[in-house]
Amino acid sequence: MSDLIELDGVEKVFEVRRKTGRLRREKREVRAVDGISFRVPRGEMVGYIGPNGAGKSTTIKMLTGILTPSAGRLRVAGLDPSRERTKLAQRIGVVFGQRTTLWWDLPLYDSYKLAHRMYRIPDARFRENLDRCVELLDLASLLDVPVRQLSLGQRMRGDIAAALLHDPDVLYLDEPTIGLDVISKAKVRQFLRDLNAERATTILLTTHDLTDIEQLCKRVMVIDHGRLMYDGALAGLHEAGESERTLVVDLERELPPVQAEGARVVKVEGPRQWLAFPASASAAPLVAHIAQAYPLVDLSVREPDIEAVIARMYDGRPLY
């Protein structure tokens, strides 16, 4: 069995009550996940991205057994997640970016000791995995510190270690670099790359940070409105989305929209203007042209973020 994750026509429908009047309420069905199918073979690292409310978290929660699908077939490591949730828990590691699984008032090491006992990890294996995580994630000085005293980046590293002590086949990461400083981000990414290379751990990560995807994942899946919009290489995503970067220029005064070849003005706000240009093109000639022809005060280039890429992918609306 080489496909570790298999989804066939998976759906999740929520019934929501919305207030329509002072007392009246209306029942409405929301299809958070609307017929998704994909497979992930062992050892692959996949980015699972989409705007907020697209159905990312709902998918992950079904894959971990937290939520029961409304329809479709779902298998992780050959198990039906919601029916065999506790069995599956032995085979997966989960890191929720915003919620720690560590024990707030206790030293970091205590959380690992609990994992040792709860996952029934053989002693030697536990020590080996812990040593490795401590070394690569730089946790040695933190083991005796109560979790509440850790910084966000330290806690995230601590959470990642906690999710890996039992040698999971699959690791789900929900926004693993959110709120981290540059150095912590780099450390986390390097660690995940090593983990994937050495242990062939299958990794599925959701993120808002395109750099996470660029540096970690060969394959990207884009989900929106509960449907899979794209499944393929990252490069292809840029093409499919005709990704554009944005040049923000501050002029000396309010002027009519700037005229420049290969770029178009998408927004004007007083003396500030936004110009979109293809992500594949260099910004230099554009900047040179504008600096020459217009009274330029300041400028900045904005990289396309995932939401923008996705937004452009299937509706032709401008970014701003």
Partner 1 sequence: MAETVTERRPAPGVWATYRMIAGMWIRSTLAYRASFVMMLVGNFLVTAFDFVVIALMFSQVRSLGGYSFAEVAFLYGTSTTAFGLANAVLGSIDKLGARIRDGTLDTLLVRPAPVLAQVAADRFGLQRLGRLLQGVLVLAGSLLSLHVHWTVLKVLLVPVMLLSGTAIFCAVFVAGAAFQFWAQDAAEVQSAFTYGGQTLLQYPPTVFAKDMVRGVTFVLPLAFVNWLPALYVLGRPYPLALPAWLAFTPPLVAAACLTLAGQAWRVGIRSYRSTGS
Binder of partner 1 out of 70, 82, 190, 215 (CB under 8 A): 82
Q: Which of 169, 224, 231, 244 binds partner 1 (CB under 8 A)?
A: 169
Judged by CB under 8 A, the residue of 47, 65, 176, 304 near partner 1 is: 65
Site for partner 1 in 242-301 (CB under 8 A): none
166 lies in the binding site for partner 1 (CB under 8 A): yes
144 is a contact residue toward partner 1 (CB under 8 A): no
CB of 129 to partner 1, least distance (A): 10
DSSP string, 85-147: HHHHHTTEEEEESSS--S-TTSBHHHHHHHHHHHTT--HHHHHHHHHHHHHHTT-GGGTTSBG
Contact between 19 and partner 1 per CB under 8 A:
no
Question: Which lies closer to partner 1 via its Cβ, residue 85 or residue 264?
Answer: 85
Residue 254 beta carbon to partner 1: minimum distance, rounded to whole angstroms: 39
Query: Which residue, among 137, 154, 136, has the nearest Cα to 145 in the 3D structure?
Result: 154
Backbone φ, ψ for residue 311 (5° rounding): -60, -40
Q: Give the position of tokens 């009274």.
A: 295
Q: Tell me, what amino acid is at 165?
A: L
Residue closer to partner 1 (CB basis): 138 or 167: 167
User: Which of residues 198 and 315 has its CB atom nearest to partner 1 in the complex?
Assistant: 198
Binding of residue 114 to partner 1 (CB under 8 A)? yes
Buried b (16+ CB within 10 A) or exposed e, 208-228: bbbebbeebbebbbbbbebbb
| Identity of the residue, 64 or 207, whose beta carbon is nearer to partner 1 in the bound complex | 64
Q: Looking at beta carbons only, is 96 or 294 nearer to partner 1? A: 96
- For position 108 contacting partner 1 by CB under 8 A, the verdict is no
Q: Determine the Cα–Cα distance for residues 266 and 229; give it in Å rounded to an integer.
A: 25
> Distance from first CA to last CA of the chain, Å, rounded?
46
Q: With binding defined as CB under 8 A, does residue 78 bind partner 1?
A: no
Q: Does 86 bind partner 1 (CB under 8 A)?
A: yes
Residue with tokens 């699984």, as numbered in its chain: 101
d(CA 10, CA 14) in angstroms, rounded, equals 14
- Report the 10 Å Cβ neighbour count for 302: 15
Tokens of 165: 């002590």
Answer yes or no whether residue 110 interacts with partner 1 by CB under 8 A: yes
The site that binds partner 1 (CB under 8 A) totals a number of residues, namely: 43
Q: State the Cα torsion 16-231-210-179 to the nearest 10°.
A: 40
Distance between CA atoms of 128 and 133, rounded to whole angstroms?
Answer: 9
Residues near partner 1 (CB under 8 A): 14, 43, 52-53, 56-57, 61, 64-68, 82, 85-87, 89-92, 94, 96, 99-101, 103-106, 110, 114, 117-120, 125, 146, 166-167, 169, 198-200
